[in-house]
Amino acid sequence: MNKINSLPGSDDILRQVLPNGITVLARPNFESPSIVIRGYLPCGAILDPADKSGLAIFLSACLMRGTARKDFYQIYDQIESAGASLSFSASTHNILFSGRALAEDLPMLLELIAEVLRFPEFPENQIEQVRDQLLAGLAIRSQNTQEMAEITFDKAFFGDHPYARDDEGTPESIQSITRQDMQAFHQKYFGPDGMVICIVGGIEPAKAVENVRAVFEPWAKNPQARPSFDNLPQVTNPKTTQRLHVEIPEKSQMDLIVGFSGPNRLSPHYHAAMLGNCILGQFGMMGRIGKVVRDDNGLAYYAGSSLAGLPLSGSWEISAGVNPGNIEEALRLIRLELKRFTEEPVLASELDDVQSFFIGRLPLDMESNGGVAYYLLNMERYQLGLDYYREYAGIVRSVTREQILNTARTFIDPDRLIIVTAGTKQPGS
């Protein structure tokens, strides 16, 4: 009997593209009586009009608030009576959906997803309820030093690139969004072409595909607007280090971001950067950065690094929560670690540790139907190939110390950084 956490591959994933452009991925797990469904439409916040930031997220929160045939209460009664779940959200590039149900209820769940995506009504009273929730969330966010530092960094680093936009919007943009804006976005961008649906659980893959076909085949292709991103400005490090501060009064902690360029997800540098980043600021208690800034010197509440390998560009960031009086010393130590990272190969023991970590974590992440569905969707989004996860251990093990050093030198320049702080007034200001 196959274990739930065995890695998926071309011999147990069924992938079919329907005539209307929907890609279906299905993988069985007969140890489970239920199924998980995940998917997306390729239209997210990157398509928000410049003066309507937050539109995709606002719209996604309104999708289940009523359709042409069902109101808000009927939708949720149908889901709850089956012991199922269903939700919609938006990211920079996609409108996302996720649900689970007993395998026998898959047709019902698919029909509801299709109805919500094709025929949302966006009732005015429900829009206002969601608007109030979003505005409350933005008010809370404005007092969050970590989130405000991240927003400021993105604007400074990405500049004219769409990634500089704030996906969640501003109080002003959320106030300005109307039902007509949602209807126009829906009419322009929603459609089956490019949609992906992934189903994992206790159902034969061929049957899962046929269930999708029966429900979604009537949704015909339409001339959806698919803007080209081929001519976007190239994102690089600034010519000299830039420092910005966001003042948020009455905060005892200051959040710090030190950022620079990183590879996009399909770059040949990506896997070396992934492993290098883990050594720099994630592994164990947040890697080298965590050790020197927090553990050895006690300068931060947390300190580590992250790699945002986005489809169109990438950023590499070091973040820390620091007492305002410790900012300059924390920055000095971070710069020293970056200099070391670009001058010396990582230790063989460090590389071996993080390689084992990534290889060992993958099957654990796939112990559930939801975990498998998440990874299959990621595989499809970046066209990694059906056997990518079977080959993953070899890919990770093939990364060398020299490749990590070369990648660090390609993207990191300690003298060309974006440095953002958010919190109380800077000492001496």
Mean pLDDT across 385-396: 97
Does pLDDT of 223 surpass 90? no
Question: Total domain count for the chain?
Answer: 2
Q: Which of 198, 216, 234 is the last residue of a domain?
A: 216
123/157 same-domain check: yes
Q: Are 329 and 299 contacting, i.e. CB atoms less than 8 angstroms apart?
A: yes
Q: What is the DSSP letter of 7?
A: P
Q: Which of 161, 181, 216 is the last residue of a domain?
A: 216
267/208 same-domain check: no
The answer as to whether 368 is a domain residue is yes
The answer as to whether 227 is a domain residue is no
- pLDDT tens-digit profile of 13-72? 999 999 999 999 999 999 999 999 999 999 999 999 989 999 999 999 999 999 999 999
Does pLDDT of 221 surpass 90? no
Does pLDDT of 241 surpass 60? yes
400/302 same-domain check: yes
Average pLDDT in the chain: 94
> Please, which residues have CB within 8 angstroms of residue 261's CB and are 6 or more apart in sequence?
157, 235, 236, 237, 313, 314, 315, 316, 411
Question: At which residue do the structure tokens 């065995």 appear?
Answer: 6
Closest CA to 67 of 32, 128, 117: 117
* Percent of the chain topping pLDDT 70: 97
What is the CATH number for 122? Answer: 3.30.830.10
pLDDT at 2: 42
**Among the residues of 308-398, which ranges form H helices?**
327-343, 348-365, 369-381, 388-397
Domain of residue 267 covers 242-423
pLDDT at 225: 62
pTM, two decimal places? 0.92
Does pLDDT of 142 surpass 50? yes
Q: What is the DSSP letter of 52?
A: -
What's the pLDDT band for 426 if we cut at 50, 70, 90? low
Does pLDDT of 4 surpass 60? no
